[in-house]
Amino acid sequence: MTTSTTKLSDLLPEGKIRFSADRLGWREAVREVAAPLLDAGDITPDYVDAMIESIEAGGTYINLGFGIALAHARPERGAVRTAISMLRLTEPAPLLDQPEHAVDLYFCFAAADATAHTLAMASLARLLSDPGTREALRAARSAADVTQLIHEFEESK
Amino acid sequence: MKFLAMCSTGLGSSFMVRMNIEEVLAELGVGGVEVDHSDIGSASAASADVFFVARDLAETAEGLGDVVVLNSIIDREELREAVKDAAVRKGLL
Protein backbone atom coordinates (compact mmCIF):
# COMPACT_ATOMS: atom_id res chain seq x y z
CA MET A 1 0.00 0.00 0.00
CA THR A 2 1.40 3.30 -1.03
CA THR A 3 -1.57 5.32 0.08
CA SER A 4 -4.22 5.04 2.70
CA THR A 5 -6.58 7.92 2.06
CA THR A 6 -9.72 7.21 0.12
CA LYS A 7 -11.61 10.33 1.09
CA LEU A 8 -12.60 12.23 -2.01
CA SER A 9 -11.93 15.52 -0.29
CA ASP A 10 -8.29 14.44 0.07
CA LEU A 11 -8.00 12.86 -3.37
CA LEU A 12 -9.68 15.74 -5.21
CA PRO A 13 -8.53 19.00 -3.56
CA GLU A 14 -9.59 22.41 -4.79
CA GLY A 15 -6.33 22.93 -6.68
CA LYS A 16 -7.06 19.95 -8.94
CA ILE A 17 -10.48 21.20 -10.02
CA ARG A 18 -10.60 23.39 -13.11
CA PHE A 19 -13.23 25.14 -15.18
CA SER A 20 -12.80 26.09 -18.82
CA ALA A 21 -14.90 27.99 -21.33
CA ASP A 22 -12.55 26.98 -24.17
CA ARG A 23 -13.84 24.84 -26.99
CA LEU A 24 -11.75 21.71 -26.66
CA GLY A 25 -11.52 18.47 -28.58
CA TRP A 26 -11.68 15.33 -26.47
CA ARG A 27 -7.92 14.78 -26.64
CA GLU A 28 -7.32 18.33 -25.43
CA ALA A 29 -9.90 17.83 -22.71
CA VAL A 30 -8.12 14.68 -21.50
CA ARG A 31 -4.77 16.50 -21.49
CA GLU A 32 -6.34 19.46 -19.69
CA VAL A 33 -8.04 17.40 -16.99
CA ALA A 34 -4.81 15.45 -16.45
CA ALA A 35 -2.64 18.58 -16.18
CA PRO A 36 -3.01 19.11 -12.39
CA LEU A 37 -2.05 15.48 -11.73
CA LEU A 38 0.90 15.71 -14.11
CA ASP A 39 2.03 18.97 -12.47
CA ALA A 40 1.78 17.41 -9.02
CA GLY A 41 3.73 14.33 -10.07
CA ASP A 42 0.77 12.03 -9.41
CA ILE A 43 1.04 10.64 -12.94
CA THR A 44 3.71 10.49 -15.63
CA PRO A 45 3.26 11.79 -19.20
CA ASP A 46 2.88 8.15 -20.28
CA TYR A 47 -0.31 7.88 -18.23
CA VAL A 48 -1.87 10.70 -20.26
CA ASP A 49 -0.91 8.96 -23.51
CA ALA A 50 -2.33 5.69 -22.19
CA MET A 51 -5.69 7.31 -21.42
CA ILE A 52 -5.89 8.80 -24.92
CA GLU A 53 -4.84 5.51 -26.55
CA SER A 54 -7.51 3.70 -24.58
CA ILE A 55 -10.23 6.05 -25.81
CA GLU A 56 -8.89 5.92 -29.38
CA ALA A 57 -9.19 2.13 -29.20
CA GLY A 58 -12.93 2.57 -28.69
CA GLY A 59 -12.90 3.08 -24.94
CA THR A 60 -16.02 5.17 -24.68
CA TYR A 61 -16.93 3.13 -21.60
CA ILE A 62 -15.34 5.94 -19.63
CA ASN A 63 -18.56 7.84 -20.41
CA LEU A 64 -20.53 7.32 -17.21
CA GLY A 65 -23.64 9.08 -18.43
CA PHE A 66 -25.05 12.49 -17.45
CA GLY A 67 -22.25 14.17 -19.43
CA ILE A 68 -19.62 12.76 -17.08
CA ALA A 69 -16.50 10.85 -18.16
CA LEU A 70 -13.89 9.18 -16.01
CA ALA A 71 -10.60 9.10 -17.87
CA HIS A 72 -8.21 6.53 -16.50
CA ALA A 73 -5.60 3.98 -17.49
CA ARG A 74 -4.01 0.98 -15.89
CA PRO A 75 -1.90 1.78 -12.79
CA GLU A 76 1.27 0.36 -14.38
CA ARG A 77 1.05 2.92 -17.19
CA GLY A 78 2.32 5.67 -14.93
CA ALA A 79 0.13 6.22 -11.91
CA VAL A 80 2.54 7.39 -9.21
CA ARG A 81 0.07 8.35 -6.48
CA THR A 82 -3.64 7.85 -6.06
CA ALA A 83 -5.26 11.09 -7.14
CA ILE A 84 -8.25 12.57 -8.92
CA SER A 85 -8.73 15.78 -10.90
CA MET A 86 -11.75 17.39 -12.49
CA LEU A 87 -12.40 19.62 -15.49
CA ARG A 88 -15.77 21.27 -16.09
CA LEU A 89 -16.26 22.51 -19.63
CA THR A 90 -18.79 25.05 -20.80
CA GLU A 91 -18.88 23.37 -24.22
CA PRO A 92 -19.02 19.56 -24.33
CA ALA A 93 -16.01 17.73 -25.81
CA PRO A 94 -17.59 14.53 -27.17
CA LEU A 95 -15.48 11.38 -26.88
CA LEU A 96 -14.25 10.27 -30.32
CA ASP A 97 -16.28 13.24 -31.63
CA GLN A 98 -19.43 11.15 -31.28
CA PRO A 99 -22.50 13.22 -30.28
CA GLU A 100 -23.86 10.37 -28.14
CA HIS A 101 -20.72 10.67 -26.03
CA ALA A 102 -21.00 14.39 -25.31
CA VAL A 103 -19.04 15.05 -22.13
CA ASP A 104 -18.70 18.35 -20.31
CA LEU A 105 -17.51 17.04 -16.96
CA TYR A 106 -14.22 15.16 -17.12
CA PHE A 107 -12.56 13.39 -14.24
CA CYS A 108 -9.04 12.01 -14.38
CA PHE A 109 -8.45 9.08 -12.11
CA ALA A 110 -5.12 7.56 -11.14
CA ALA A 111 -4.52 4.81 -8.63
CA ALA A 112 -1.13 3.68 -7.41
CA ASP A 113 -2.18 0.10 -6.79
CA ALA A 114 -5.18 -2.20 -7.05
CA THR A 115 -6.39 -1.71 -3.48
CA ALA A 116 -6.18 2.07 -3.64
CA HIS A 117 -7.87 1.91 -7.02
CA THR A 118 -10.83 0.00 -5.66
CA LEU A 119 -11.31 2.19 -2.61
CA ALA A 120 -10.95 5.49 -4.44
CA MET A 121 -13.27 4.32 -7.21
CA ALA A 122 -15.85 3.37 -4.60
CA SER A 123 -15.72 6.87 -3.11
CA LEU A 124 -16.21 8.48 -6.49
CA ALA A 125 -18.96 6.05 -7.49
CA ARG A 126 -20.91 6.84 -4.33
CA LEU A 127 -20.72 10.55 -5.01
CA LEU A 128 -21.63 10.32 -8.71
CA SER A 129 -24.44 7.80 -8.19
CA ASP A 130 -26.21 10.07 -5.73
CA PRO A 131 -28.71 12.02 -7.86
CA GLY A 132 -28.79 15.15 -5.68
CA THR A 133 -25.02 15.41 -5.40
CA ARG A 134 -24.59 14.71 -9.10
CA GLU A 135 -26.93 17.56 -9.99
CA ALA A 136 -25.18 19.88 -7.54
CA LEU A 137 -21.84 18.90 -9.06
CA ARG A 138 -23.07 19.72 -12.55
CA ALA A 139 -24.46 23.02 -11.31
CA ALA A 140 -21.27 24.02 -9.48
CA ARG A 141 -19.56 27.08 -10.94
CA SER A 142 -16.29 27.15 -9.04
CA ALA A 143 -13.72 24.80 -7.55
CA ALA A 144 -14.76 26.05 -4.11
CA ASP A 145 -18.38 25.03 -4.85
CA VAL A 146 -17.20 21.54 -5.76
CA THR A 147 -15.06 21.01 -2.67
CA GLN A 148 -17.89 22.36 -0.53
CA LEU A 149 -20.38 19.85 -1.91
CA ILE A 150 -17.90 16.99 -1.56
CA HIS A 151 -17.45 17.91 2.10
CA GLU A 152 -21.20 18.09 2.60
CA PHE A 153 -21.65 14.69 0.94
CA GLU A 154 -18.97 13.11 3.14
CA GLU A 155 -20.46 14.61 6.29
CA SER A 156 -23.94 13.37 5.40
CA LYS A 157 -22.70 9.77 5.21
CA MET B 1 -26.72 -17.14 -8.11
CA LYS B 2 -24.13 -14.78 -9.49
CA PHE B 3 -24.42 -11.31 -11.01
CA LEU B 4 -21.34 -10.09 -12.88
CA ALA B 5 -20.61 -6.47 -13.82
CA MET B 6 -18.22 -6.16 -16.72
CA CYS B 7 -16.25 -3.47 -18.51
CA SER B 8 -13.32 -3.46 -20.91
CA THR B 9 -10.61 -3.34 -18.28
CA GLY B 10 -12.36 -4.82 -15.27
CA LEU B 11 -10.98 -1.89 -13.33
CA GLY B 12 -13.22 1.14 -13.22
CA SER B 13 -16.77 1.16 -14.42
CA SER B 14 -17.47 -2.51 -13.70
CA PHE B 15 -16.52 -1.92 -10.11
CA MET B 16 -18.87 1.06 -9.88
CA VAL B 17 -21.71 -1.06 -11.25
CA ARG B 18 -20.87 -3.92 -8.91
CA MET B 19 -21.04 -1.62 -5.90
CA ASN B 20 -24.35 -0.20 -7.00
CA ILE B 21 -25.78 -3.68 -7.69
CA GLU B 22 -24.80 -4.75 -4.18
CA GLU B 23 -26.51 -1.69 -2.71
CA VAL B 24 -29.67 -2.20 -4.75
CA LEU B 25 -29.86 -5.89 -3.79
CA ALA B 26 -29.56 -4.89 -0.14
CA GLU B 27 -32.30 -2.27 -0.55
CA LEU B 28 -34.54 -4.84 -2.23
CA GLY B 29 -33.80 -7.33 0.52
CA VAL B 30 -32.55 -9.92 -1.97
CA GLY B 31 -29.97 -12.26 -0.48
CA GLY B 32 -27.92 -15.15 -1.79
CA VAL B 33 -26.53 -13.33 -4.80
CA GLU B 34 -22.78 -13.22 -5.32
CA VAL B 35 -21.80 -10.00 -7.10
CA ASP B 36 -18.47 -9.63 -8.82
CA HIS B 37 -16.82 -7.52 -11.50
CA SER B 38 -14.39 -8.42 -14.27
CA ASP B 39 -13.11 -7.48 -17.68
CA ILE B 40 -15.32 -8.70 -20.46
CA GLY B 41 -12.48 -10.57 -22.15
CA SER B 42 -12.16 -13.06 -19.33
CA ALA B 43 -15.90 -13.69 -18.93
CA SER B 44 -17.66 -16.71 -20.40
CA ALA B 45 -21.26 -17.90 -20.30
CA ALA B 46 -20.35 -19.98 -17.27
CA SER B 47 -19.01 -16.96 -15.34
CA ALA B 48 -22.37 -15.79 -14.02
CA ASP B 49 -26.14 -16.07 -14.22
CA VAL B 50 -26.73 -12.42 -15.13
CA PHE B 51 -24.22 -10.12 -16.83
CA PHE B 52 -24.33 -6.31 -16.57
CA VAL B 53 -22.57 -4.15 -19.17
CA ALA B 54 -22.65 -0.55 -20.34
CA ARG B 55 -24.11 0.20 -23.74
CA ASP B 56 -20.78 0.23 -25.57
CA LEU B 57 -20.19 -3.44 -24.76
CA ALA B 58 -23.67 -4.67 -25.64
CA GLU B 59 -22.54 -6.38 -28.85
CA THR B 60 -19.44 -7.89 -27.27
CA ALA B 61 -21.56 -9.36 -24.50
CA GLU B 62 -24.02 -11.02 -26.86
CA GLY B 63 -23.97 -14.77 -26.44
CA LEU B 64 -23.02 -14.76 -22.78
CA GLY B 65 -26.61 -15.46 -21.82
CA ASP B 66 -28.74 -13.18 -19.65
CA VAL B 67 -27.17 -9.81 -20.45
CA VAL B 68 -28.44 -6.52 -19.03
CA VAL B 69 -27.36 -3.40 -20.94
CA LEU B 70 -27.15 -0.16 -18.96
CA ASN B 71 -27.38 3.28 -20.54
CA SER B 72 -25.55 4.93 -17.67
CA ILE B 73 -23.49 3.14 -15.08
CA ILE B 74 -24.15 5.80 -12.46
CA ASP B 75 -27.91 5.96 -12.96
CA ARG B 76 -29.12 4.34 -9.76
CA GLU B 77 -32.78 4.40 -10.85
CA GLU B 78 -32.08 2.59 -14.10
CA LEU B 79 -29.95 0.05 -12.25
CA ARG B 80 -32.58 -0.48 -9.58
CA GLU B 81 -35.16 -1.42 -12.22
CA ALA B 82 -32.66 -3.63 -14.06
CA VAL B 83 -31.61 -5.47 -10.90
CA LYS B 84 -35.21 -5.85 -9.81
CA ASP B 85 -36.16 -7.32 -13.20
CA ALA B 86 -33.19 -9.68 -13.08
CA ALA B 87 -34.13 -10.79 -9.57
CA VAL B 88 -37.68 -11.51 -10.75
CA ARG B 89 -36.41 -13.43 -13.79
CA LYS B 90 -34.27 -15.57 -11.54
CA GLY B 91 -37.06 -16.19 -9.05
CA LEU B 92 -35.39 -14.19 -6.28
CA LEU B 93 -38.23 -11.70 -5.88
Closest CA to A140 of A86, A103, A99, A93: A86
- Residue A123: phi and psi, rounded to 5, are -60, -45
Residue A2 pLDDT greater than 50, yes or no = no
Residue ranges of A 8-37 with Cβ closer than 8 A to chain B: none
Are B8 and A70 in contact (CB < 8 Å)?
no
pLDDT, tens digit, 9 for 90 and up, residues A48-102 = 999 999 999 988 888 999 999 999 988 899 999 999 999 999 999 999 999 999 9
Instruction: List the domain boundaries for chain A.
Output: 9-156
DSSP B46: G
* Partner B contacted by A109 (CB < 8 A): yes
Cβ A12 vs Cβ A148: under 8 Å: no
Domains of chain B from N-terminus onward: 2-89 (3.40.50.2300)
| CA within 13 Å, CB half, B62 | 5
Asked: is A9-156 a CATH 3.40.930.10 domain? The reply is: yes
- Looking at A43-100, which runs of residues are DSSP E strands? 63-65, 68-72, 83-89
| Range with the poorest average pLDDT among A11-15, A119-123, B86-90 | A119-123
